Amino acid sequence: EKGGYDYFMLKEIAEQPRAVADTLLGRIAADGRLVLDEMRITDQELREVDKIIIVACGTSYHAGLIAKYALEHWAGLPCEVELASEFRYRDPILSRSTLVIAISQSGETMDALMAVRHAREQHAKLLGICNVNGSTLPRECDGVLYTHAGPEVAVASTKAFLTQLVAVYLIALYIAQVRGTKWGDEVFAMIQLLAQMPEKVEKVLETMEPVRELARSLANERSVLFLGRHVGFPVALEGALKLKELAYMHAEGFAAGELKHGPIALIEEGLPVIVVVPPRARAVLHDKIVSNIQEIRARGARTIVIAEEGDETVEPFADTLIRVPAVPTLFQPLVTTVPLQVFACELATAKGHDVDQPRNLAKSVTVE
Ligand code: F6R
Predicted confidence (pLDDT) per residue in 254-276, tens digit: 999 999 999 999 999 999 999 99
Ligand 1 atom 9: residue of nearest CA: 58
- Among the residues of the chain, which ranges form H helices? 8-14, 16-24, 43-48, 58-70, 84-87, 110-121, 136-140, 159-179, 186-194, 197-206, 209-217, 232-247, 283-298, 332-350
Question: Mutation test of ligand 1: which of 7, 9, 106, 159 has the most ligand atoms closer than 8 Å to its C-beta?
Answer: 106
| 332 close to 231: Cβ distance less than 8 angstroms | yes
Q: How many CB atoms lie within 10 A of CB 164?
A: 29
* Residue 60 Cβ < 6 Å to ligand 1: yes
The complex's ipTM?
0.97
Which pLDDT does position 183 carry in this prediction?
Answer: 65
Q: Mean pLDDT across the chain, nearest whole number?
A: 96
Which pLDDT does position 1 carry in this prediction?
Answer: 85
Q: How far is CA 176 from CA 102, 190, 222, in A?
A: 20, 11, 45
- Burial state string for 173-205 with b = 16 or more CB within 10 A and e = fewer than 16: bbbbbbbebbeeeebbebbeebeebbebbbbbb
Ligand 1 atom 5: residue of nearest CA: 58
Q: Ligand 1 atom closest to Cα of 112?
A: 16
| 51 CA from centroid of ligand 1 (Å) | 25
pLDDT category, 331, cuts 50, 70, 90?
Answer: very high
Whether residue 367 is predicted with pLDDT greater than 80 in this model: the reply is no
Closest CA to 154 of 105, 224, 88, 92: 105
Whether residue 219 is predicted with pLDDT greater than 80 in this model: the reply is yes
| 210 CA from centroid of ligand 1 (Å) | 28
Mean pLDDT over 204-225 rounds to 97
Whether residue 144 is predicted with pLDDT greater than 70 in this model: the reply is yes
Q: What is the pTM of this model?
A: 0.97
* Residue 131 Cβ < 6 Å to ligand 1: no
Residue 172 and residue 170: Cα distance in Å, rounded?
6
Q: Ligand 1 atom closest to Cα of 57?
A: 6
Q: Of all residues in the chain, what percent carry a pLDDT higher than 90?
A: 93
DSSP-based helix, strand, coil % in the chain, nearest 5 = 50, 15, 35
Residue 276 and residue 151: Cα distance in Å, rounded?
29
pLDDT category, 356, cuts 50, 70, 90?
Answer: confident
Strand 272-276 to 223-228 pairing: parallel
Which pLDDT does position 319 carry in this prediction?
Answer: 98
| 356 CA from centroid of ligand 1 (Å) | 13
Whether residue 368 is predicted with pLDDT greater than 80 in this model: the reply is no
Whether residue 334 is predicted with pLDDT greater than 80 in this model: the reply is yes
Q: Ligand 1 atom closest to Cα of 164?
A: 14
* Residue 57 Cβ < 6 Å to ligand 1: yes
| 129 CA from centroid of ligand 1 (Å) | 13
Whether residue 71 is predicted with pLDDT greater than 80 in this model: the reply is yes
* Residue 365 Cβ < 6 Å to ligand 1: yes
pLDDT category, 184, cuts 50, 70, 90?
Answer: low
Q: Biggest alpha carbon distance in the chain?
A: 57
Mean pLDDT over 42-51 rounds to 97
Which pLDDT does position 365 carry in this prediction?
Answer: 82
Question: Mutation test of ligand 1: which of 59, 161, 341 has the most ligand atoms closer than 8 Å to its C-beta?
Answer: 59
Q: How far is CA 89 from CA 82, 99, 117, in A?
A: 11, 19, 12
Ligand 1 atom 11: residue of nearest CA: 58
* Residue 247 Cβ < 6 Å to ligand 1: no
Q: How many CB atoms lie within 10 A of CB 209?
A: 9
DSSP β-bridge partners for residue 253: 226
| 105 CA from centroid of ligand 1 (Å) | 7
* Residue 340 Cβ < 6 Å to ligand 1: no
Residue 121 CB burial class (10 angstroms; 0-12, 13-18, ≥19):
exposed
| 81 close to 68: Cβ distance less than 8 angstroms | yes
| 201 close to 21: Cβ distance less than 8 angstroms | no
Whether residue 165 is predicted with pLDDT greater than 70 in this model: the reply is yes
Question: Mutation test of ligand 1: which of 82, 365, 367 has the most ligand atoms closer than 8 Å to its C-beta?
Answer: 365
| 181 CA from centroid of ligand 1 (Å) | 32
Residue 63 and residue 161: Cα distance in Å, rounded?
7
pLDDT category, 364, cuts 50, 70, 90?
Answer: confident
